[in-house]
Amino acid sequence: MGKRVIISGGGTGGHIFPAVAIANALKKISPDIEILFVGANGRMEMEKVPAAGYEIVGLDIQGFQRNSIVKNILLPYKIIMSLIKSRSIIKNFKPNAVVGVGGYASGPLLFASSWMNIPYLIQEQNSYAGITNKNLGKNARKICVAFEGMDKFFPAEKILITGNPIRKETVDIDGKRDEALKFFNLSPSKKTILVTGGSLGAGTLNKSMLDGIDKVIADDVQLIWQTGKYYYQSVNEQLKGKFHANIKVLEFLQRMDFAYAAADVIISRAGAGTIAELFVIKKPVILVPSPNVAEDHQTQNAMALVRMNAAVLVKDSDAENELLNSALKLLKDEEKQAELAKNIGLMALPDADEVIANEVLKIAN
């Protein structure tokens, strides 16, 4: 009889992709395992997890809305109902172990597991743990982390540094540079900057690129620019009359491996999932942490790299004035590029999914 595991959490790609990677690794190690996902209704996991071939159950749960008191009125009720439903899910599925990857659904499911004496593992992706995970860490069997120094949030004896699971196909860039440049119709003799704010995009990155587009053209530098779905139309409208063969503006990067392979310098937000990929890519990176996340954890993530001289940090508030100048300066400094690339590569833990899956099976036994 195969083991039964619940994986809970989601909300963003940064939580969902690692969760699915752990599930895939569990299936690979133990093909007869049964896996159930628990997510939050209306969030992207309810679509992405079934697309990856797994069953998912939704909780009617949300996070605290900082910008709206009214939206928080129902929050206590939703938390109580989610806890009741979590107990029911556990009772019916009878898991041997539960995994929490972060996101709204992770809290209620892990709290219910704790009450019902079901062993659970936390996969903490960021270098700064949120209040829910800090509380849940006290009763967790194991806490898998991606950064050093997490014993200030969790009991040291429970911590295992595993790294964050990544999409292997995305970081498979060896020998692909020429093919990638051809894919984007770019020249192999020119330097290339990749700008990515994730699938939804990042307003600050887009504004910084728009403001400095004349410098990009003047320096004869190539740009692969992922605007994100939300900003694509407005960026194109503002670029009218400035379209140039060196500049490729895309709503979404279907071939992230090609984008990484083509880039000489990468400009990115500092989400934990993206950083885990950048460790393996081993290219010079400028990080612009998003200020719109809980506990400002993207700044903490970025600082973990800056302390190791593995990335350059530009604050969101400084980006419009400094970002493009920093990128163009870095493109000309090959010694600095080599140093950053070497140091970020030293932080890579490419087999996180399998290491975490083996820990899950240990606690399931």
Model confidence pLDDT, tens digit, residues 84-120: 999 999 999 999 999 999 888 899 999 999 999 999 9
229: helix, strand or coil: coil
* 179 vs 157: CA distance, rounded Å: 47
Q: Are residues 51 and 106 in the same domain?
A: yes
Assign 195 to helix, strand or coil: strand
262: nearest Cα among 192, 330, 332, 168: 192
**290 labelled as ligand-binding?**
no
Q: Do 332 and 354 sit in the same domain of this protein?
A: no
> Does one domain contain both 38 and 132?
yes
Give the pLDDT mean for 142-169. Answer: 94
Pairing of strands 34-40, 4-8: parallel
**111: amino acid identity, one letter:** F
| pLDDT single digits (tens) 179-202 | 999 999 999 999 999 999 866 668
Indicate whether 68 pLDDT > 70: no
Residue 12 among known ligand-binding residues: yes
In contact, 18 and 164? CB cutoff 8 Å: yes
Alpha carbon distance 357, 340 (integer Å): 31
- Residue 338 CA to residue 335 CA, distance in Å, equals 5
At 154, give phi and psi (nearest 5°).
Answer: -130, 160
Position 231, amino acid: Y
Q: Give 230-270 as a DSSP string.
A: TTHHHHHHHTTT---TTEEEESS-S-HHHHHHH-SEEEE--
Residues 145 and 199 in one domain: no
Q: Is 30 annotated among the ligand-binding residues? A: no
Strand partners, 312: 286
The number of CA neighbours under 13 Å toward the Cβ of 6 is: 30
Supply the range of the domain harboring residue 216: 177-345
Max Cα–Cα distance, the chain, nearest Å: 65
Same domain for 282 and 219: yes
Secondary structure (3-state) at 172: coil
Centre a 10 Å sphere on the Cβ of residue 126 and count the other Cβ atoms it contains.
28
72 lies in some domain: yes
The CATH number for 123's domain is: 3.40.50.2000
Is it the case that residue 342 has pLDDT exceeding 90? yes
* pLDDT, average across residues 69-76: 74
Asked whether residue 172 is assigned to any structural domain, the reply reads: no
pLDDT digits (tens, 9 = 90+) for 27-37: 999 999 999 99
- On whether both 147 and 285 belong to a single domain, the answer is no
Q: Which two tokens stand for residue 227?
A: 């605007």
Predicted confidence (pLDDT) at residue 209 exceeds the cutoff of 70: yes
User: What is the number of structural domains in the chain?
Assistant: 2
Q: Classify residue 203 by its DSSP letter.
A: H
pLDDT in tens, 234-289: 988 888 877 788 999 999 898 999 999 999 999 999 988 899 999 999 999 999 99
Q: Are residues 207 and 334 in the same domain?
A: yes
Q: Are residues 281 and 156 part of one domain?
A: no
126 belongs to an annotated ligand binding site: yes
Amino acid at 51: A
Distance in angstroms (rounded) separating the CA atoms of residues 103 and 126: 12
**Residues 165 and 21 sit within 8 Å (Cβ to Cβ):** yes
Cα–Cα dist 355/144, whole Å: 9
* 274/151 same-domain check: no
Q: Both 267 and 336 in a single domain?
A: yes
Scanning the structure block, which residue is given the tokens 């206590």?
76
Contact predicate 289/313, CB 8 Å: yes
Does residue 302 share a domain with residue 204? yes
C-alpha separations of 217 from 29, 203, 325 in Å: 50, 21, 13
| Residues 36 and 156 grouped into a single domain | yes
Report the pLDDT value the prediction gives residue 165, as an integer from 0 to 100: 93
Alpha helix locations (H) across 30-166? 45-51, 75-93, 106-115, 131-137
127 is in an annotated binding site: no
